[in-house]
Chain A
Amino acid sequence: MNAKQLSVFIENRQGRLGEVLDVLKRNKINIISLSLADTTEYGLLRLIVNDPASGREKLSAEGFSTMLTDVLVIKIEHKAGSLQELLKILSEKQINVEYMYGLSIDGETASVVLKPSDLKKADKILVSEGVKTMSAEDISKLN
């Protein structure tokens, strides 16, 4: 099952990240997880929010470059080695990880947000391996 990630392009200038967060706050959009990839000139803010479509609309209206990307939000056990096992499953089937970041839901399970090189194939493999993924709907309920 896919989840939607909201990606925002941010120039490296003072206060710009704050402005993104301000738009989300004003529109009561809750951030569940985020990652910020930075280069010398710009950053890419990747967000998992409770309502990505609305988040995108509001940010675009305020002049930000945004996009929605399909990603996998995968539940893994909160114990040593579980992430390694997950990645092993994918790498054995020649699936690469484009990027990945953590997402914490509660005390017992951990989750990772993962963008695989081939999302459909990865999803299928995970289903067959019995790995749990979260849908957009699951995430919207995480408020």
Chain B
Amino acid sequence: MIWNETKECMSRDEMTALQSARLVKTVDYVYHNVEFYRKKMQQLGLLPGDIKGVEDITKLPFTTKDDLRDNYPFGLFATPKSQIVRIHASSGTTGKATVVGYTRRDLDIWSECVARCLTMAGVTKEDIIQVGYGYGLFTGGLGAHGGAEKIGAMVVPMSTGNSKKLTTMMVDFGVTAIACTPSYLLHISELLEAENLIKDLKLRAAICGAEPWTDKMRSEIEGRLHINAHDIYGLSEVMGPGVACDCIYHKGLHVCEDHFYPEILDTSTLKPVKAGETGELVFTTITKEGLPLIRYRTKDLTSINYDTCECGRTSARISKFKGRVDDMLIIRGVNVFPSQVEAALVDIKEVTPHYMIIVDRVNNLDTLEIQVEIDEKYFSDEIKGLEALTQKISHTINQALGLNAKIRIVEPQTLTRSEGKAVHVIDKRKLY
């Protein structure tokens, strides 16, 4: 099944022509509506007319997460605030969140993209779909929700946090599809197995994303739940979930290329690599109104394939991710930068600035432990004193990351010092 055959199956030439026309329009639009881009283009001596098609895209400047931070909160928006109907936010590299805004039309396009992805997973209006992503500032919940409603499926907006209720409703409602993180789905499958409920399920498909996962993990999910599991990709800066998704053949994720123009660049030269070679994924949004981004560096490593897929779609496919260019971690679907932890710890006088982040996966749920050294001045001879301190640190970290972290106090001088390249993260999960 294909949601939008016209767009998803157009010839490569037609696609390139469409992308070129939309890029030209977008460049003109940002030049006249976003001071940040106008200045950047002026510095490079570029006028909107210099961009005649996608072949000229390399002339354009990049956009990074830091640019969003520097223009916090709404500095890169291209429309007046009155045109913005929704805000989402994700972690920034330090204290400030990355804020994104959508016009009514942006939301429609987003739903269209998610609808394409859900259709790749075989979801139709006959389905009952549980959305197990967090609803709120995170794009996962409302993003998946919009696409599922667009298809006309019956949506159960579970959000996260109550697995017991989720499994009960999954059985009682006869849920046929679920959208959540892959690790959460594995956790759910364990709960279902423990209660011997697998046999009572009507579940057929899962659309999992918000964190990297391997083919091995997919086989495990599919085997345990007897379903097909699909990988959906997105990032809030570009749109949210729905930027790309894999079809039943699982040979890469089909990009909604008529809205998001992908480039794969060499990580050191930032020049395009050949199709099939690994590099950093860079997106230019070519239809967005609220927050159009030119050459946004995702920092995700992948390769691209322009061959027609066995499913009939001609849209370019990106491979499952091969890693990150930066040190961002994705923990329970939440983006975490070690620099955020560092920034939070600086504000706590009782701890030294040395820390170690340990990420692991226990019973298919990500665990986050942060080890800190206590300044000897604030040491206590009472357990309750140390526990109060641990709680204070824990609270500050949770506020900063939007994620519960276990705080472990360690002896002084035991954590790596930041001279040279200090290792601040131990990730025991095997995600790539």
Contact = CB atoms under 8 A, between A and B. Distances in A.
Interface of A: 5, 7, 9-11, 37, 39, 41-42, 44, 46, 60, 63-67, 69, 98-99, 115
A69 B408 CA distance: 23
B386 A42 contact: yes
B383 A9 contact: no
Nearest to A98: B382
Nearest to A38: B383
Interface residues of B, number: 16
Nearest to A37: B383
Contact of B376 (A11, A46, A66): A66
User: Which one of B380, B386, B387, B411 has the highest number of Cβ atoms from chain A below 10 Å of its Cβ?
Assistant: B411
Given A10-B411, A115-B381, A65 B386 contact: no
Nearest to A70: B381
B379 interface: yes
B413 interface: yes
13 contacts: A7-B379, A9-B409, A11-B410, A11-B414, A37-B383, A39-B383, A42-B409, A44-B383, A65-B376, A65-B411, A66-B376, A67-B379, A99-B382
A17 B294 CA distance: 58
Nearest to A64: B411
B412 interface: yes
Given A67-B376, A67-B380, 14 more contacts: A5-B381, A7-B381, A9-B379, A9-B409, A37-B383, A39-B386, A41-B408, A41-B409, A44-B383, A44-B386, A64-B412, A65-B412, A66-B379, A99-B382
A67 B411 contact: no
Contacts of A42: 386, 409
A94 B54 CA distance: 79
Interface string B350-387: 00000000000000000000000010100111110011
A82 to B, nearest CB: 25
List 4 tightest A-B contacts by C-beta distance, closest first: A7-B381, A69-B381, A63-B413, A65-B379
Contacts of A7: 379, 381
A2 B383 CA distance: 21
A63 B376 contact: no
A81 B32 CA distance: 88
Interface in B405-420: 408-414
Interface in B391-406: none
B14 to A, nearest CB: 61
A94 to B, nearest CB: 18
Contacts of B380: 67
A100 to B, nearest CB: 12
B283 to A, nearest CB: 43
Contacts of A99: 382
B383 A63 contact: no
A63 B380 CA distance: 16
A99 B382 CA distance: 8
B412 A44 contact: no
Nearest to A42: B409
Contacts of B413: 63
A98 B387 CA distance: 14
A63 B412 contact: yes
Among B381, B409, B412, B413, the most chain A Cβ lie within 10 Å of the Cβ of B381
A50 B414 CA distance: 29
Contact of A60 (B374, B376, B381, B409): B376
A54 to B, nearest CB: 17
B389 to A, nearest CB: 11
Nearest to A5: B381
Contacts of A65: 374, 376, 379, 411-412
A44 B379 CA distance: 11
A66 B378 CA distance: 10
A58 to B, nearest CB: 15
B409 A44 contact: no
A10 B381 CA distance: 11
B414 to A, nearest CB: 8
